[in-house]
Chain A
């Protein structure tokens, strides 16, 4: 049941309608929990036991932690939770990858065995709900948030259907307080929720799904195409993944809002970023702040004895981004993608400290020209790194990169007008609109005529040019 399907719309409308009829907040929470489990069951029946196990295990550990004042016992509980969560994530997501690499190393050493391959199913949303659950236990350990006293509330936090499959990675500190008191869902909330949902659907169906087929053609056989085609394919994929995931996030935020819950933003015009550091403050925000708060900052604290701050930050940043890459999937391509971003972030950090252009900083024309160059550099880094994110294998990625860099003349030229239109749309919104604007919040505050026209425009985009056969969200695979 994907958000852009009829069955989801019918399912969600029914849930929202029943919810609005309920007077008791407790009944509402049970309803939302039941439908969340039902929604998860529609994706995988056996994996529902795993998500319930994760929820109940971390709930129990959190409770126990709250009752235990001794730091050593608390630390043991934290380690136990990390072992359970990362162990399950590792087993279900990385076991075959790990085996492949071990066998590769053994093979290189001259030891040859029959390599085992386990048919491990990847539980839907495991990367997302595991991170949400880990964040709860760590926050309880550091006493940043109170212990959740209700197994139902905690399970609802983990399984809440708008976010369970692909985030946003909402933290316990943001979600659990919303279960304390029933939020009054106003007409404005419903309008904001619908606006988010519509805008998300447009990003997904009108941009991402429209160009998915063309991008797929180019990436399936890059050797067949010339440099220009490869460039449009790559730019198209960047636009596709952005609209796919930002569209999903918007729809999730919209659904939650209609049910009376508020989620943090997950994307904020990332292509308007002037630096790579700013890009990561705007792209998959909930994931990047998770890595910042639960990996990068602890690493910083652990290595604070190192006096060379630039080196320390650079190494920690690189480690964080490599693991961020690996989080996306069991493939070296993702690690390389993370490595490219880590290197870019490190380079930016070093540049900021070094600041060689400080002398020309106040000259006229410096700022706009520098911004333009910096934007282009950021965009180029992000786009080139996407080759490793999209390609099926390392050799595919390198062959794509080599053909693109050498501006290959041999091969067919396949310029999709859809990709060009999608690029123009995405870049014009991100580059021309004022940064940090949130149209989904702004439109419902507008006067009558522009509101009607904007909603009609979004609906028209969906029914006139929306893809006819919706494609599954890219981030579901992570």
Chain B
């Protein structure tokens, strides 16, 4: 290190900064790999016969976990393909429309959380071009605070090329805890089990049977998670921004390619009690009505209005159905398929 004594202050400072950055970048990448942080990748899965016309499903995990796809495939006698992205919304699904070539019908699953503009998909900037976002924000007359929130995802995405863990501290901490428990050969905590949606290995559209019940959550856990969710959505439900515009645009495009079924998925009563005021529900209904007007040939299946699901026993968390809930929803869905002559 003797050579370093003769180096100028500026060069020394630059060296220190570069080394510090290098170490932090390496550690960030290592931690991202070690904790298996979710990647901004569309995950495509399928089930059923591969020949003949396929049903293509677009939607977030709410619809993917919410329906029993093998049963639906069997009932329809058609294969089903589905592509999804963690926490995604119509803004991101729109980009996967290009993957659809010969789908008939196309099934789009939405829920109140998917269409809530305040709930942002963390990978939005990876899928939606910034110009598109700016156009949508302008068209929706979004306010500056909200626009800033959406647009700030773009620099964060570029920043994540260097530091993949940036802005994902919750996932890092949860992942690290899980890994440390594994290393210590301790069983995962009940909290971890409940939080973890087990995804099937490979591309099979079948998510097994979850027995976790939201009603069995400890009260403090529910309070904490509701507060976290409230923070995430800034306590706001609104359906008049870029998501709605993307949803309408997507419906119009989908309609040009064939038949479209829009499945409106339910959320847990606990979620409804906490967030869904009459005003929120009314504006959600307005958004759906507008979507119906934009795509008059699309069939809207309202699974969110099933009285049988009015219990937290049928949900594994605030928005995802568990095995029992999925059974009820799937039966209702198939019943509607069977009774409606317009459906396949």
Contact = CB atoms under 8 A, between A and B. Distances in A.
Interface of A: 5-7, 10, 186-188, 190-191, 210, 213-214, 216-217, 220, 224, 412-414, 416, 448, 451-453, 455-456, 459-460, 462-469
B169 A465 contact: yes
Nearest to A447: B1
Nearest to B221: A414
B227 A216 contact: yes
What's the dominant secondary structure at chain A's contact region? helix
Contact of B168 (A412, A414, A460, A468): A468
B231 A463 contact: no
B228 A6 contact: no
Contact of A455 (B16, B27, B156, B163): B16
A188 B9 contact: yes
B228 A412 contact: no
Nearest to A186: B9
A306 to B, nearest CB: 52
Contact of B20 (A186, A456, A468): A456
A220 B172 CA distance: 27
Nearest to A413: B220
A6 B155 contact: yes
A463 B28 contact: yes
Contact of A469 (B16, B24, B165, B232): B232
Contacts of B52: none
B13 A460 contact: no
A463 B26 CA distance: 12
Interface of B: 1, 4, 9-10, 12-13, 15-17, 19-21, 23-24, 27-28, 31, 148, 152, 155-156, 159, 163, 165-170, 172-173, 219-220, 223-224, 227-228, 231-232
A451 B14 CA distance: 12
28 contacts: A6-B152, A10-B155, A187-B9, A187-B10, A188-B9, A191-B16, A210-B169, A216-B227, A217-B223, A217-B227, A224-B223, A412-B220, A448-B15, A451-B16, A452-B19, A456-B20, A456-B24, A456-B27, A460-B27, A463-B24, A463-B163, A463-B165, A463-B166, A464-B27, A464-B28, A464-B165, A466-B167, A468-B168
A453 to B, nearest CB: 8
Given A6-B156, A188-B9, A213-B231, A412 B223 contact: yes
Contacts of B165: 463-464
Contacts of B169: 210, 464-468
B223 A414 contact: yes
A167 to B, nearest CB: 24
What's the dominant secondary structure at chain B's contact region? helix
Contacts of B24: 456, 459-460, 463
A250 B10 CA distance: 23
B31 A464 contact: yes
A176 to B, nearest CB: 29
Contacts of A468: 167-170
A448 B17 CA distance: 11
A412 to B, nearest CB: 4
B172 to A, nearest CB: 5
Given A448-B15, A456-B21, A466-B169, 9 more contacts: A10-B155, A190-B13, A217-B224, A416-B224, A459-B24, A460-B23, A460-B28, A469-B231, A469-B232
Contacts of A464: 27-28, 31, 165, 169, 172
A467 to B, nearest CB: 6
B130 to A, nearest CB: 14
Contacts of A416: 224
B13 A191 contact: yes
Top 6 A-B residue pairs of the complex, sorted by shortest distance between their CB atoms: A455-B20, A459-B24, A456-B23, A468-B167, A412-B220, A463-B163
